[in-house]
Structure 1
Amino acid sequence: MAADEESTPGTPRPAPLAPLPDHRNVDTPWWQELWRRHAHITTPLRERGLECDIGFGLSAYVVSVSLPDDSYLIISPPQEPSSDRPPGDPEGWIVTHEHPDDQSLFEVLYDSAPSDAPAAAQRPEAHHGGSASPLVEAIDHHLTQLGLLLPHPVSSTRTPHPLPATPTRHPPEAPEVSNTANDGAPAYVHGDALRALTERINGTESHGDAAALLHQILEPTDGLLTQLGEFFEAAGEKAKEAEEDDGFDLSYDLADAAAEIRNLGEVLHVVEDRMRALTPLAPAPRTTSTQGRPPSLPPRIPSPAQPRHTR
């Protein structure tokens, strides 16, 4: 019987998971999508009783892990320069151990991110790349040595947690953009595309349709706002290539612009749901035109002429 099988001695049971974060973003689609993309990292850690959350770091989404002594781990993809891979599937992971009240506690305990510097010494874990299993093992070892985690045998009943099978979408090759149209007038292909989107939201007949258009702008991984931030960041990297003071100054300005755009996305992340929750749009009342032309104004009465003074 099932009850007997569950109580059979020696049958390993999956460990209970640590609770989800307690904030309003947990119920939003964009956060749930990020959580799903990082489940291969967060689930093994939650099996160990460690509470995890996802937020935005310097230039990418990171996993934060709360520890019993009030310190925390930050698990992130490469951020300087940032990774161009999808969230949850970077070319490598960097794990740091930090404490909010003790700035001296800052330790890089894992770094599998590739380095472009030929003279830079590679860490032993560099060959693991974006694999999650060795990352979790390194965290296990580090926290066990500090007495912050009991040794955790891997459960044979719980299935592994690979990255969900979501096909990686590679952006199409950007077409060559000319600054002039066939008739010699300036051509702004991307501006025209956004203008068309604006016209669509002006002509939409429901809040659901308007929310769908907002999704195109505000989706946190592939939306227009996120890609606009990536664009300014790429422009900043291009400015650095000049290796001039003005190039570096320009790169800082462009990096600030990218950060502002990302912050705007964080502020506006709930507007799609708020738009969808609004009441249906009422049809605009039709204005009835009056028959015929309106009566013309009466002719203006000329002002009386001033009397002449004669001698």
Structure 2
Amino acid sequence: MSNDLAQMAPMPVHGNTDDPLWRKLWNAYEPIITALRRIPLVTDVEISGGMFGITAQLTDGSHLWISSVGELPIDPDDPEGFHVRRAHEDNPTIDEMVYDSTEDGEHSQHGNNLVSLIQAITAFVTERRLAPRLIDLVAVQVQGVSAKHQPLSQLIQGPFDDRHAAVKEYGYATRDLMQRGWRCIHEQGGTEWPLTVWERNGEVATVYLAHVGQITA
């Protein structure tokens, strides 16, 4: 299932979002920020005392601080690897290294590779259950072709955040087709991702469960 459908964490809300420097840094590191927001972690650009970094809020009140050798440079081509730590503003005992691809770091072989950076952060927050839990949304959909070869597409029911409810509605939809004289000519997917193909008077319709997005629990 494509992660493009995932709900992104909201934009930060504060007075810096109109600041030209903040916007420049946000745009410069947009690939990292967008990937973190898709986890989904509320992500921000921190400008504090001349120090630039990326923060990502975790569900227990702690956060990730993403920098390089010292602060993040304004030019996204200039970092000498990435350094990620977990910290907590009110609890100094929470202080641990998550990822370090700077020259002398444990993951130095990855350098400025963004894929490795995001994979490491994703694995860390997933293992620790520090990211919001995502719930898949499922809908019952129909696609087909009319007797005049015109495309047919319709969302019948949904979206549902409960797979069992979606499967139940799928059963109602296919039973309705049968009662209206449609004939099932193909079936697959069982109760996980059911799909059936139907025919009536030259028309063909496919009824299936479709993943249509995600919401946070």
TM-score range, shorter chain: 0.5 to 0.7
Distance in 2 (CA, whole Å) between partners of 1:14 and 1:140 is 17
Question: Counterpart in 2 of 1:148?
Answer: 130
Cα deviation, 1:76-113, whole Å, max 9, x if unaligned, reads 0111xx67x54433021000011122211100111111
Distance in 1 (CA, whole Å) between partners of 2:37 and 2:4 is 15
* Residues 19 and 75 of structure 1: CA distance in aligned 2, closer, same or farther (over 3 Å): same
- Mapped contact 1:140–1:151 kept (Cα < 8 A): no
Distance in 2 (CA, whole Å) between partners of 1:107 and 1:70 is 15
Q: Tell me which of 3, 28, 35 is aligned to 2:19.
A: 28
Q: Tell me which of 116, 133, 139 is aligned to 1:134.
A: 116
**TM-fit CA distance, 1:22:** 0.6
Q: Give the structure-2-normalised TM-score.
A: 0.55
Distance in 2 (CA, whole Å) between partners of 1:57 and 1:112 is 23
Question: Counterpart in 1 of 2:62?
Answer: 71
SS of alignment partner, residue 34 of structure 1? helix
* Residues 103 and 24 of structure 1: CA distance in aligned 2, closer, same or farther (over 3 Å): same
Question: Counterpart in 2 of 1:88?
Answer: 76
**TM-fit CA distance, 1:14:** 2.3
Which amino acid in 2 is paired with 1:88?
P
**TM-fit CA distance, 1:59:** 5.7
Distance in 1 (CA, whole Å) between partners of 2:53 and 2:64 is 10
Identify unmatched segments of 5+ residues in structure 1: 1-9, 116-121, 153-311
SS of alignment partner, residue 149 of structure 1? coil
Specify the structure having the higher radius of gyration (Cα).
1
Q: Give the structure-1-normalised TM-score.
A: 0.39
- Mapped contact 2:59–2:132 kept (Cα < 8 A): no
Distance in 2 (CA, whole Å) between partners of 1:13 and 1:75 is 24
- Structure with larger RCO (C-alpha < 8 A, sep 6+): 2
SS of alignment partner, residue 24 of structure 2? helix
**TM-fit CA distance, 1:150:** 6.7
- Mapped contact 1:93–1:130 kept (Cα < 8 A): yes
**TM-fit CA distance, 1:25:** 1.5
How many residues of Structure 1 are paired with residues of Structure 2 in the alignment? 133
**Counterpart check, 1:44 vs 2:74:** no
- Mapped contact 2:67–2:83 kept (Cα < 8 A): yes
**TM-fit CA distance, 1:70:** 0.5
Of residues 12-21 and 33-42 in structure 1, the stretch that sits farther from structure 2 once superposed is 12-21
Identify unmatched segments of 5+ residues in structure 2: 135-217
Higher strand share: 2
- Mapped contact 2:85–2:96 kept (Cα < 8 A): yes
